[in-house]
Amino acid sequence: LEGSKTFTLYHPAHRKHIEADENDWADLSSPPNKEKYPDMHLAVPAQTLLKAGEVIYIPRKWPHHAIAQEDSISLTLNFAPLCAKKNVIKHLLPYAKSRGRCQMLLQRPLRARDNLMQ
């Protein structure tokens, strides 16, 4: 919604280079642990800068991480089955609508550290 983030993604075929065991991943935002992940250098990342108003789709099983380039506010949606759509939307809409009210009450743009859920 605001700010920008650098996204780094890895093709699922490269998981074997960055995954020690099931759900035991390398920290993709830090220098590689060469002892635990000796082949991590073989994992080829795809990187993009996501700016305010842009959307990124990350397919299932694509390891990834994002780093904010400045204070930012973002919205992450995990896809759910169509039968769950109604339940997801009813929780999302009030949150999205509250953003404008919060900015009006605070008399400033929202910041990353603002907690709209309070």
- pTM for the model stands at 0.61
DSSP β-bridge partners for residue 45: 10
pLDDT at position 6, please?
93
pLDDT at position 69, please?
92
Percent of the chain as helix, strand, coil, to the nearest 5: 30, 20, 50
25-77: per-residue pLDDT in tens?
888 778 888 888 899 999 999 999 999 888 888 888 888 889 999 988 887 77
pLDDT at position 95, please?
61
Tell me the pLDDT band of 7, cut-offs 50, 70 and 90.
very high
Sequence-ordered list of residues with C-beta below 8 angstroms from that of 48, at least 6 positions apart, any chain: 6, 7, 56
